[in-house]
Amino acid sequence: MSTTDSTTDLAMTGLTFGQRLRATTDLHGPLCAGIDPHRTLVESWGLGYDLDGLRRFTDTCVEAFAGQVGVVKPQSAFFEVFGSRGVAVLEEAITALREAGTLVILDAKRGDIGSTMAAYAEAYLGKDAVAPGDAVTVSPYLGFESLRPALDLAAQTGRGVFVLALTSNPEGRSVQHARLRDTSVAESMVTSAASMNAAAAARGELGSVGLVVGATVGTAVQELQLDLAAVNGPLLSPGVGAQGGTSDDLRRVFGDALHNVLPASSREVLSAGPDVTALRDRALETSATLADLLR
Ligand X SMILES: O=C(O)c1cc(=O)[nH]c(=O)n1[C@@H]1O[C@H](COP(=O)(O)O)[C@@H](O)[C@H]1O
Question: Which residues are designated catalytic?
Answer: 109
Closest to ligand X by CB, 188 vs 271, is 271
CB 31 within 8 Å of CB 270: no
d(CA 143, CA 150): 13
Closest to ligand X by CB, 239 vs 273, is 239
Q: How many residues bind ligand X (CB under 6 A)?
A: 19
Q: Which stretch binds ligand X (CB under 6 A): 23-31, 153-161, 262-270, 272-280?
A: 262-270
The minimum distance between CB 294 and ligand X, in angstroms, equals 18
Closest to ligand X by CB, 40 vs 277, is 40
What lies within 8 Å, CB to CB, of 250 at 6+ separation is 215, 237, 240, 258, 261, 263, 290, 293, 294
d(CA 221, CA 215): 11
d(CA 154, CA 151): 5
- In the region spanning residues 102 to 131, those forming contacts with ligand X, defined by CB under 6 A, are 107, 109
Which member of 207, 241, 263, 273 binds ligand X (CB under 6 A)? 241
Q: Which stretch binds ligand X (CB under 6 A): 191-199, 248-256, 259-267, 280-288?
A: 259-267
Pairing of strands 183-184, 179-180: antiparallel
The minimum distance between CB 169 and ligand X, in angstroms, equals 6
Closest to ligand X by CB, 153 vs 264, is 264
- What is the per-residue binding string for ligand X in 184-223, x denoting contact by CB under 6 A? ----------------------------x-x---------
CB 21 within 8 Å of CB 161: no
Interface with ligand X, residue 36, by CB under 6 A:
yes
d(CA 177, CA 102): 34
CA atoms within 13 A on the CB side of 294: 27
- What is the per-residue binding string for ligand X in 133-172, x denoting contact by CB under 6 A? ----x-----------------------------xx----
The secondary structure element, H or E, covering residue 71 is strand 71-74
CA atoms within 13 A on the CB side of 35: 32
Of the candidates 190, 251, 264, the one whose C-alpha atom is nearest the C-alpha of residue 224 is 190
Q: Applying CB under 6 A, which residues contact ligand X?
A: 34, 36, 75, 107, 109, 137, 167-168, 212, 214, 238-239, 241-243, 264-267
